[in-house]
Structure 1
């Protein structure tokens, strides 16, 4: 279809208004650059373009065409949405019907001078030597100081290099059978989440799901019984009277969750009651973690708790009551003995 003189004049006017930039002129007219170029050339042939006193070179535009930017951002969102949805209540399959235990490991802070290594080593030994026991790390595996707090490395004996070796040991060499590994606020502070995920790639064919802050997953046993677990570094909500206030909120507003666990605040508690409206009796747990001898806590008047660094939950797919489906043990050794007896 032939171009009208009006279209050609519009092209000339837009070109002059853009200061001689064809891409800007095309954008102003809402047409592609190639379409504008054809119109401008047609205008030149018709003598509508007055020769300029100065002729400038046409420089290539280094910017990515906006249509390509939009296409790329569309693909990125679709990929990110698919990954996000895949992490909503992802399944972990158990190939038999025997009870299992999950050690919900509180914030380890492996490189801190106050890390309770004697007890942590004991719990690791129990986890790796007890058949049917797995573990979930709720975050803050290392101090990972960053920002203005990076100066805190001067207050600890372990260097950054040593800290990373300790994390790698816990993930890859400790013998613990990890189910899930969460990134806590200290991983955000030190920007170490990506480094942990690179370590995870060395795990072999079975990689541990690593998630930011929270994981929602189901244990699916061979007999069809499922347990819904919501583990987070912390849940929103605080109360000086109830250390599991945020956990209770998550259970109340959640969807038939069997076990909810978090850490972060370096105190512990276990609570359970029947929610008649949901037809379940969720275990609501906060784990203390292994950081002791905390000078900051002492200066703000906090008393340190001695127990609850990690809490073992035994899941029984053969239980006949809600309360018996999941049982929590603050004494990890006693819980492991119960798990062994139950599996026999």
Structure 2
């Protein structure tokens, strides 16, 4: 027990003297001295009465045990969430579309195209799934709230668009982007998509598709991959593919540009695809201000995955989602 102005008198009285109190405290591993105890006693003074001390409101040992248990729970959840496994029920060819950066509340967004693409993933086409790459709406924060003046849409109308998107389409996963998480909207989006999307996570998600025949496809999705290059919009994904060496598909959004490349993981016959998905926000002052050229060739590419094919043909791409849906139908009919 460390002597303080609140307990020094009771410590000395219990020991019988200041000198003995010092010895008792030192035997308990408390570094103190007679001089320190006398100084504390001098500050306390003698008011002619003693106040019954209160028991501590916090049991430190219990607190440590409780916090340790909380850490163990968080560790177990976090480690399990790094890779979410999806078990397919048959070996039929499937398609996974990647749609990103909708910014539904922006006047420069092509809502018609956005919902035409999304309609392909309403659940009526067997084996066609959708992954959303984040930033469903602007949701401006901080100094950027001034940009709300440039939007001819109300908050209620924005929420209606989000609700419609969430309730009428079927999602494999949703990676929340930075815009999604501003203003505390992360929990609201997770609640809104709870019925149609089993995997909603912030920033990054790895999804492993497992087919009954044993074939596996690992998708590494990030709202934004670190790394930039003036020569390749998908440079961050390529860097991960080179250094990570695990996933089959590396896909990202955020930058509002498109890009694609592929390669082979070193020492294996396993191909990888690096994909940058563009935005539906077609008109924006920011790239004009920076002098950036438009590179938004596609904003909803579709991966056609055939678990029965050879390694080199396991994943094929259609960058037009309508063509992707038609090709998937043809692949399934063969």
Q: Smaller-chain TM-score range?
A: 0.7 to 0.9
The match for 2:143 is: 148
Counterparts of 2:5 and 2:253, CA distance in 1: 64
Structure 1 residue 264: Cα displacement: 0.5
Q: What is the alpha-carbon root mean square deviation over aligned residues?
A: 2.8
The match for 1:222 is: 212
Classify 1:308/1:52 alpha carbon distance in 2 versus 1 (closer, same or farther; 3 Å): same
Q: TM-score, normalised by structure 1?
A: 0.81
Unaligned stretches of 5+ in structure 1? 1-10, 32-49
The match for 1:194 is: 187
The match for 2:130 is: 135
| Residue-by-residue CA offset, 1:295-320 (whole Å, 9 max, x unaligned) | 11112112223521111111110111
Partners of 1:147 and 1:189 within 8 A in 2: no
Of 303, 308, 311, the residue aligned with 1:318 is 308
Partners of 1:15 and 1:21 within 8 A in 2: no
Classify 1:65/1:282 alpha carbon distance in 2 versus 1 (closer, same or farther; 3 Å): same
Partners of 2:277 and 2:301 within 8 A in 1: yes
SS of alignment partner, residue 273 of structure 1: strand
Partners of 1:256 and 1:278 within 8 A in 2: no
SS of alignment partner, residue 239 of structure 1: coil
Structure 1 residue 187: Cα displacement: 2.1
Residue-pair matches, total: 306
The match for 1:327 is: 316
Counterparts of 1:151 and 1:60, CA distance in 2: 54
SS of alignment partner, residue 310 of structure 1: coil
Partners of 1:107 and 1:138 within 8 A in 2: yes
Structure 1 residue 167: Cα displacement: 1.8
1:165 and 2:160 correspond: yes
Structure 1 residue 151: Cα displacement: 2.4
Partners of 2:175 and 2:203 within 8 A in 1: yes
Structure 1 residue 110: Cα displacement: 1.2
1:53 and 2:47 correspond: yes
Counterparts of 2:213 and 2:304, CA distance in 1: 17
Partners of 2:250 and 2:275 within 8 A in 1: yes
Structure 1 residue 61: Cα displacement: 6.8
Counterparts of 1:180 and 1:318, CA distance in 2: 24
1:185 and 2:185 correspond: no
Paired residues for 1:168-317 under 5 Å: 168-171=163-166, 173-174=167-168, 176-201=169-194, 203=195, 207-317=197-307
Structure 1 residue 185: Cα displacement: 1.1
Partners of 1:104 and 1:135 within 8 A in 2: yes
SS of alignment partner, residue 327 of structure 1: strand
Classify 1:21/1:192 alpha carbon distance in 2 versus 1 (closer, same or farther; 3 Å): farther
Counterparts of 1:30 and 1:197, CA distance in 2: 56
Classify 1:71/1:124 alpha carbon distance in 2 versus 1 (closer, same or farther; 3 Å): same
Paired residues for 1:89-128 under 5 Å: 89-128=83-122
Q: TM-score, normalised by structure 2?
A: 0.83
| Residue-by-residue CA offset, 1:117-159 (whole Å, 9 max, x unaligned) | 1211211122224321000111111112112212222221222
Structure 1 residue 111: Cα displacement: 1.2
